[in-house]
Structure formats: structure tokens, C-alpha cells
Amino acid sequence: MNNLGKLFVISAPSGAGKTSLCNELLKTYDNLEYSISVTTRKPRADEIEGKDYFFVDEDTFKKMIQDDEFLEWAEVHGNLYGTPKKFINEKLESGVNILLDIDPQGARQLKSKLHFGVYVFIIAPSLKDLEERLRNRRTESEEKLRLRLENAKKEVRYYKDYDYIIINKNFKKAFNELNAIYIAEHLRSKDVKKIEDIMNLEV
């Protein structure tokens, strides 16, 4: 158990700044890898297949559900998203820490299946901020943007499912908080190995 990687599950309504925070954490730690999800959403202009997502059509996604390839999956904003099981299992078993960026429905599924995992929820300081950020991003049509805002109002209510909440008003402060969580989770007494060896104590 001690050698297993840790699973960091991060959720946030669109526009809360989650992607930038996750990228910064990934840049900071070599032993942390991003779980690339499978989705039926169309790629955005700057997205890369196999880096941001594995983009598939609906039939392929449904076949993957049938073949039990997902650890969890959900419909979000009208598209399907799922976490490939194989990657997570292999990485955790080899001691690599994993960062999952999934919606609250997926996080809830995971929590009911796995007895470990650190659950972090990131929110914007207000709905007004959220709308501004989504508009500035210019990645969605007006219709899709409205759908994401409506969903954000619903998603925020899931906050009690999470171990930690970060209110992202200022990037630096929010990143320090996320980093603090990451560090603290590595100092848990149950995970610190062989203190007797380190201190040269007789067992």
C-alpha cells in the first residue's frame, strides 16, 4: 500500500481556473502525471489529441463503456467524458501520482469505488467572475457558454463531496493552496515508511 501512487481528483465548474492550476502543479512535480480522458466533445482549436483528450465518436465511447474500459464516465454539458481505467491502475501501481480533472458526477462515482484519493474542488469567487472568465476564454458559443454557466450553479452544490475547497480569486494564492494540499498529503503518518529505519530504532 505504501508504494502506491496517490490520486488527486480535481473538479471545478468551467472558468474557475482549474486547468492553469493543474498545469502548474504538473510542471512542479516530476512524479505527478495527468490522466488523459476520453471525450466525444469536438477538439478546440488549441487542443491536441492524446495530450488534452482522446477525442472519439459516440459509438467508440459506448463500445468502451461496454468493454468496461472506464473507471468512471459521465455526460457533461451534452458530451460524454470518461477516465481510462488501465492508465490509472498501471501508474498507481508503479508509484506514480495521478491528477484527475473530472466533473462532480465522476468524482462521486470514484469516491464510491475507491477507498483512497484526495478530492479538491476549485471555485471562482463569484458567478460574475466565472462568467467574465468564460467570456474572455472565447472557446464556447453563446449557447454553450450559457449551458456551462447554468451547470456551474448546479455543480457548486457538490462542494461537500470534497476534502478541500480552493476559492480561486488570485492565481498565486490558489496555487499555493493547491501545492500545500499536495505536500500535506505526502506527509500523512500512515504513508511515511520505515521511521524506525530512518531513526535507527529497534523495532
Residues that bind ligand 5GP (CB under 6 A): 11, 14, 37, 41, 72, 74, 76-77, 81-83, 101-103, 105-106
Measured CA to CA, the distance from residue 201 to residue 38 in angstroms comes to 49
Q: With respect to ligand 5GP, which residue has the nearer C-beta, 101 or 177?
A: 101
Contact between residue 29 and residue 69 where contact means Cβ atoms under 8 Å apart: no
102 SS3 class: coil
Instruction: Output 72 or 177, the one with its CB closest to ligand 5GP.
Output: 72
User: Across the strands, what pairs with 115?
Assistant: none
Residue 121 CA from chain centroid, whole number: 9
User: In whole angstroms, how close is the CB of 159 to ligand 5GP at the nearest point?
Assistant: 14
Cα distances (Å, whole numbers) of residue 29 to 23, 25, 112, 123, 136: 10, 6, 28, 23, 29
Smallest separation (angstroms) from ligand 5GP to the CB of 69: 12
Looking at the Cβ atoms of 44 and 173, the one nearer to ligand 5GP is 44
Distances (CA, A) of 110 to 146, 163, 173: 28, 14, 28
**Minimal distance, residue 126 CB to ligand 5GP, in Å:** 19
User: CB of residue 37 vs ligand 5GP: minimum separation in angstroms?
Assistant: 3
Q: Nearest to ligand 5GP by Cβ — which residue?
A: 106
Q: How far is the CB of 151 from ligand 5GP (least distance, A)?
A: 8
> Residue 23's CB: how many other CB atoms inside 10 A?
12
CB nearer ligand 5GP, residue 105 or residue 179:
105
Nearer to ligand 5GP, 40 or 97 (CB): 40
Q: Which of 121, 99, 91 is nearest to 24 (CA)?
A: 99
